[in-house]
Amino acid sequence: MNLLNNAAINVPFPQNEPVLSYAPGTPERKKIKQALEELKSKQIEVPLIIGGTEVRTGNLAKIACPHDHSIELGQYHKAGAKEVQMAIDAAMAAKPVWEAMRWEERAAIFLKAADLLAGPYRFLINAATMLNISKNPYQAEIDAACELIDFLRFNVYFAQEIYADQPLHSPSPIWNYVQHRPLEGFVFAVAPFNFTAISGNLPTAPAIMGNTVVWKPASSAVYAPYYFMKLMQEAGLPDGVINFVPGSGSDVGNVCLASPDFNGIHFTGSTPVFQSMWKQIGQNIADNKYKTYPRIVGETGGKDFIFAHASADVKALATAIVRGAFEYQGQKCSAASRAYIPASLWEPVIDELKAQTGRIKTGDVCDFGNFFNAVIDKGAFRTITAYIDYAAAAEDAEIVIGGGYDDSKGFFIEPTVITTSNPRFRTMEEEIFGPVMTMYCYQDADYEATLDLCDQTSPYSLTGAIFAQDRSAISFGMKKLENASGNFYINDKPTGAVVGQQPFGGGRASGTNDKAGSKQNLMRWASVRAIKENFVPPTSFEYPFMDAE
């Protein structure tokens, strides 16, 4: 029995979670080091969690530590077609009770999860993120703790705003209102390796709106998402609302996309994978496999730019390049990977980049003096280093910073800066997803033409930045690059979008631009029903114009 049916309840107004510094002598530094040592001292076996039950398939894969091949964190069970169908069945079985629950009761679960993450789980999930995907403590803190906490708190608030959005007018004797219903089937959440926050947001955003979910974490990043799933259970999430199903993309995806109950995909990953899924969904629509048109929400790749005007501040520009291109080894879809520098600033910028990258220390995440760590796995290592080798052999490019790499202990690649005289050079156009920045020098007088070049070079449109002190140059550049990015930064690096501040997403080949961390994204997981009630309905069909004169 629901005792709160006569209550109008508002959720707390969300605030961004403060970022802890992990500076020497701070309590958080001690706690994260303790968590790291504890996790390294044991191995775990991660099961599937379907309908609240742990499922072990026996098909095991290693939970890797990219910066140290000798560390064994454990193994995880991989789902097959049988287990994926079990997850779909569990999601559909949980759906009636979950969608019937009052929204503020659902909200309480996610608000509790946010507080659990901010408190007792913070250092566990941060440490798991550090070890399994090779993030330094600051990168883990802004991701696995702060951003994921923000997603939970802000999305609950956005849900409240959506439910409160009602028709403007109800002329007497009519009462008009709308329901924001969950989707009719289940949502398939497909997560990337690089952000624990994104992995956690992909299933929870639809669930907040009353949907049930099949969640596939990235195969190279199961560790922290598993602990987050356990956190959600502790927060009171009913069994079957979110089903944790690690496994290969094809094994999990093919079963989910073929299901008649499939009603939406919440995806972050590569552009080719998203395009292939869209094609598969389209064919299934054509074959009448679905009960209704699925919602397709995806954020994919980027070839993100930094564009400098001759009036730019050199040190600020160089710092943005270093942080934008090399934080988390460039493994962010928003990472800067191409830069356009005017000739008048070319040498000073390169000198400042050399000075700053020369201070970067690389190595194990447990050494907090390291700004830079390892790339995620052998496949990424080979792909990224192939681009570096290509540039080293090219006649129209030069590696001016870095270029070295070594995978003997971990998958380490040096922060690398390539310069080119060819604005269409391969590393200016193609997404690399690693610590490789390519810079092109243009003549100061060619500012407008080079802005056009920047806009036309890449099929992507995710993030970009412009650096200038001249306001007219900024205004002109903003207009010329209006469609070149979904998130645009002025005198700042093109990474680090904050929930509730910069809704994140892009268009073109970068995705559907449904803006994670905004009300717009939450609206995609609701289906509106308009309701009209007539308190005094007519009792005869005639209209006044039919009256006799």
Residue 333 bears catalytic tag: yes
Collect contacts of 3-9 with beta carbons under 8 A, ≥24 apart: 4/102, 4/104, 4/105, 5/102, 9/104
- Using only C-alpha atoms, what is the Rg of the chain? 25
Choose among 137, 482, 48: nearest CA to 328.
137
Structure tokens given for 38:
């504890």
Sequence-ordered alpha helix ranges (H) in 213-369: 223-234, 249-258, 271-286, 314-326, 343-357
Q: How long, in residues, is the chain?
A: 549
Contact 411, 374 (CB under 8 A): yes
Residue 441 bears catalytic tag: no
Q: Is 266 exposed, middle or buried (0-12, 13-18, 19+ CB in 10 A)?
A: buried
Tell me which of 65, 333, 441, 454 is the catalytic residue. 333
What is the b/e burial string over 82-119, where b = at least 16 CB atoms within 10 angstroms of the residue's CB?
Answer: ebbbbbbbbbbebbeebbebebbebbbbbbbbbebbbe
Four-residue CA torsion sign, 401, 370, 494, 199: positive
Distance (Å, rounded) from C-alpha 278 to C-alpha 296? 8
Tell me which of 299, 327, 414, 431 is the catalytic residue. 299
Dihedral-angle region of residue 360 (phi above 0 means left; psi in -120 to 50 means alpha; beta otherwise): beta
- For 503, the 3-state DSSP assignment is coil
Please list the active-site residues. Answer: 299, 333
